With several copies, the nearest count.
Chain A
Amino acid sequence: MNSLTNLLIPAVLFFALGFLARVIRSDLRFPPDLAKILSIYLLVSIGLHGGFELGKAELGTAAASVAWALALGFGLPLIAFALLRLSRGVDRLNASAIAAHYGSVSAGTFLTAVAFLENQGIEYERYPLIMLAVMESPAIVVGLLLATWSRGREAGAASGARAEGGHLGAMIREAFTNGSVVLLLGSMLIGALASPKSIESLHPFTTEIFMGMLCLFLLEMGMEAGHRFSDFRRVGWLLGVFGVLMPLIGGAIGVVIGHYGLGFDAGGTTLVAVLGASASYIAVPPAMRLAIPEANPSFYLTLALGVTFPFNVVFGIPIYHALSQWAIRVG
């Protein structure tokens, strides 16, 4: 329940080890491809596993989950954008790009939350998994729209924005053919379609060795977060505060949706909170880099990967879980 319990989960400890290795300037290095391989493995495995379980889902709750996921995906970036503009820390285009990250989700954080729940023997609903898959794209679309609007404002003329029209269509297409989206949705579909027996034969691969793969992934992400964290100064403290405040806001909204909107138990509500709180660092950054080249990648990468990700893994998850339990107690 307390943060210490969380810290005794191997996945979290490996994240800390990676972070520490950077801090003490160890020469520990991973082949760059390993993180890519591990994230492919993780997406395929949770997709297969989740799709299989969702094959047995109630249609009503599933539809409601999708609807709420869309609401989160479209709404959170707007909140993030407003906050960023209020803080006057960055210009409109950087704000658009950062906002998109916070409307989307981090599978790594989500899985750490699952490990947290399983470690404590807490049951959880499977619907948040659909939400994870659904939430990758809308935030990208909102980010692009915000950027188009911002360019219009900054150019002081609507002409520029209009010229981007066709381009925007292509970008939105890309939001839905994004590699991570295809991998996750595709695997879920396969998990739902394939014969139960054949999915069971995949069990040792998708489930039994899963936690170990997650540990390796978080070890490498810990190193990467450590790298990014040292860029903190370049980002400034105002943005740094945003990187901690925004997940708390997103997490609180997630608790409300999970508990009141979807009627989930403490486990499922925690997971919805984590979806709200986490910021994408795999699917969204390439989309932003391509579509909003004016924004500085070291801003959004430092925030999503160097600030929000570690915050969520170490402090956020137990906080969202406590919040969820409190919401359920209060009713």
Chain B
Amino acid sequence: MHRLFSEKLVTIITSDVLEELLVASVRKRGASGYTLLRARGAGSEGLQTGVLWVDSNLLMKVILPPERLSGLLDDLDALIAKGHHLTVFVADVGVLGHEKFERPLKS
């Protein structure tokens, strides 16, 4: 049988222009990495068609040990408080090889 280790998966959907800020925060909060996907969509700020940089969305996935979750969510809350529109959701996942996710990304 496979041992799957419990980690938190944070998914963030927002405008492309926030990429640098999000990456900086993920690095600071000790994630072992991050994954970015290109997205389109619609929400309270209107249609994001993906045609211009400004109306392209990104979807970021970050796997974190549960104890580091809170710090990342603090940063995301701060962005939202400033007026940025972020869709954020957290799920429980089981990962293969949990040591991998304990080693923070070298900057």
Chain A residues proximal to chain B, CB less than 8 Å:
27, 29-30, 32, 35-36, 179, 220, 224, 227, 231, 234, 281-282, 285-286, 289-290, 292-298, 301
Contacts and interface: CB of A to CB of B under 8 A. Distances in A.
Given A234-B106, A290-B18, A298 B51 contact: no
B84 A293 contact: yes
A16 B17 CA distance: 25
26 contacts: A27-B20, A32-B40, A32-B49, A35-B51, A35-B52, A36-B51, A179-B53, A220-B51, A224-B52, A227-B47, A227-B49, A234-B46, A285-B55, A286-B16, A286-B17, A286-B53, A286-B54, A289-B15, A289-B17, A293-B82, A293-B84, A297-B45, A297-B54, A298-B47, A301-B54, A301-B55
B97 interface: no
Interface in B44-84: 45-47, 49-56, 79, 82-84
Given A36-B51, A234-B106, 17 more contacts: A29-B53, A30-B51, A32-B40, A32-B51, A36-B52, A224-B51, A231-B47, A234-B46, A282-B53, A282-B54, A286-B17, A286-B54, A292-B83, A294-B83, A296-B45, A297-B15, A297-B46
Secondary structure dominating the interface of B: loop
Interface of B: 15-18, 20, 40, 45-47, 49-56, 79, 82-85, 106
B45 A298 contact: yes
A164 to B, nearest CB: 10
Contacts of B84: 293
